[in-house]
Amino acid sequence: MISSTNLKVKAQEFLKPLAENLGSVGISPNAVTVSGFILSLLSAFAIGSGEILAGALLFGLSGLCDTLDGILARVSGKKSRFGAFLDSFLDRYSDFFPLAGICHFAHTNGDSPLLLATLLTIAGSYATSYARARAEALGVECKVGLLERPERFFILLFALLTAYLFPALLLLAVLTNFTAAQRLICAARELS
End-to-end Cα separation, the chain, in angstroms: 23
Strands (E), 23-182: none
**Residues that are catalytic:** 91
Residues 168, 178, 119, 47: is their CA dihedral positive or negative?
A: negative
pLDDT digits over 109-123, tens only?
A: 999 999 999 999 999
Architecture of domain 5-191: Up-down Bundle (1.20)
Say if residue 48 is exposed, middle or buried (CB neighbours under 10 Å; 0-12, 13-18, 19+): buried
Query: What is the reported pTM?
Result: 0.90
**Confidence band, pLDDT 50/70/90 cuts, at residue 2:** very low
CA dihedral 147, 165, 43, 2 (to 10 degrees): 10
